[in-house]
Amino acid sequence: MTIHTFWPMLKKEFYEQYRTYRTLIATIILLLLGLSAPIITKLTPELLKSLGGGITVILPPQTSTDALNAYLKNMTQLPALILILLAMGCIADERTHGTAVTVLTKPVPRTVFVLAKFVSYALLFLTATMLAAAGDYFYTYQFFSALPPGPFVLLNLALLIFYLLTLALTLLASVLFRNAVAAGGVAFAGFLVLSILPGLNSTIAHALPSVLFSPQRVTQLLAGTASLGDIVQPLLTGFGLTLALVMIACFVFQRQEL
Amino acid sequence: MLMESSSSWKGIERDVAMHINLSTGAILSLVLPLAALELILIIVALIDLIRREPGRVNGSKVVWALIIVLIGTIGPICYFILGRKE
């Protein structure tokens, strides 16, 4: 892979994301979800009280931990679906419309073509996640108390790896299928499997990054009682799976007829 | 969660104003950033829809305009992903 071909390809991907409003969609959605978590946590007891209709709802006082759990719940559902929707056609559409042929007839290696797409979406979601995290941290501090920065950064790193895994899955599906909707469907099915598997097997549950988002593990992280292995293993597994899926995508794409 | 994220911020603002003893300024400081973000999304989607030729839109422009305006955050996203012929 030559860096001389990678940068122009990455630049092209960023320009395409900007022109197709993908940058705007990802940034605004993640920001909305990040900001809304502490706000909704703050307002939930009052809203329940007001909507109770004579029924008394007793809730313990909401804390920054509740706001963090709401943030993680927000950030692991809709953003992953948005990521699948945005990236499902990234290779499938280029093959269908014939633009992939135009680009690849120039001296651009196929691996560079796939990697530029992966890196551009990864950087987009990295930026959006950082903005959402900053907004969430600020609002949580304003409404409750400051979250410990270390565990908060670690959980956001886990979120990013979770997005990278979803992206790698979508990229592979987009390489395998010429139809963007089919690619999206397969990526979504894969995402569902990754979400359901931890519930079926405890060994798998402890190995995937999503284990870090469970309220019990969040409490442990905030209290500093989680072991290093509990933290590192899911992050490494998520990163390793991502790497493997991207390599498979590159391998398959190199052997495909366009 | 989908409901939570797609619910109308205007509705939340109204509920908050009616039932919670917060000053108008405090309510605005809570909801304004969210409303502003949603508004940006709606305005950008509408501008793109208006500028776009009917042949480059999947379906009717009027229907998409209604979807963008009426279905909170999800409407503009649906338009950007499904409504445009790129």
Per-residue model confidence (pLDDT) at position B4: 45
Neighbours of B53 (CB within 10 A): 8
Per-residue model confidence (pLDDT) at position B13: 53
Per-residue model confidence (pLDDT) at position B2: 39
pLDDT tier at A198, thresholds 50, 70, 90:
confident
Per-residue model confidence (pLDDT) at position B5: 44
Split into its structural domains, chain B has a count of: 1
Percent of chain A past pLDDT 90, that is, above it, reads 62
**Which is more confidently placed, A128 or A46?**
A128
Which residues on B lie below 8 Å from A28 (Cβ)?
A: 37-38, 40-41
Tens digit of each residue's pLDDT (9 = 90 or more) over A117-138: 999 999 999 999 999 999 999 9
Per-residue model confidence (pLDDT) at position A224: 87
Pairs of CB atoms within 8 A across A/B: 70
CB contact under 8 A, B30 and A43: yes
A86, A92, A97, A103: CA torsion to nearest 10: 100
Per-residue model confidence (pLDDT) at position A52: 64
Domain ranges, residue B30: 2-83
**Which is more confidently placed, A207 or A186?**
A186
Domain locations along chain A: 21-254
Name the phi and psi angles at A94, rounded to 5.
-65, -30
Q: Indicate which of A18, A32, A71, A188 best probes the interface with B, i.e. most B CBs within 10 Å of its own CB.
A: A32
A248 has a chain B CB within 8 A of its CB = no
Question: ipTM of this model?
Answer: 0.76
Q: Which residue has the tokens 């305006």?
A: B69
Tens digit of each residue's pLDDT (9 = 90 or more) over B24-82: 676 677 788 889 999 999 999 999 999 999 899 999 999 999 999 999 888 999 999 88
Tens digit of each residue's pLDDT (9 = 90 or more) over A67-99: 999 999 999 989 999 999 999 999 998 888 888
* Chain A nearest CA to B2, separation (Å): 7
Per-residue model confidence (pLDDT) at position A245: 97
Nearest CA in chain A to B11: A47
The DSSP line for chain A is --HHHHHHHHHHHHHHHHHTTHHHHHHHHHHHHHHHHHHHHHHHHHHHHHH-TT-----PPP-HHHHHHHHHHHHHHHHHHHHHHHHTTTTHHHHHHTHHHHHHHSS--HHHHHHHHHHHHHHHHHHHHHHHHHHHHHHHHHHS-PPPHHHHHHHHHHHHHHHHHHHHHHHHHHHH-SSHHHHHHHHHHHHHHHHHHHHH-HHHHHHSGGGGGSHHHHHHHHHT-S-HHHHHHHHHHHHHHHHHHHHHHHHHHHTS--
pLDDT at B19 over 60: no
* Chain A nearest CA to B47, separation (Å): 12
Across chain B, what does the average pLDDT equal?
A: 78
pLDDT at A16 over 50: yes
CB contact under 8 A, B80 and A21: yes
Distance CA B15, CA A46 (A): 10
Mean pLDDT on A254-258: 85
pLDDT tier at B23, thresholds 50, 70, 90:
low
**Which is more confidently placed, A76 or B15?**
A76
pLDDT at A1 over 60: no
Which residues on B lie below 8 Å from A32 (Cβ)?
A: 5, 34, 37-38, 73
pLDDT at A57 over 70: no
CB contact under 8 A, B2 and A24: no
Which letter does DSSP use for residue A106 in this model? Answer: S
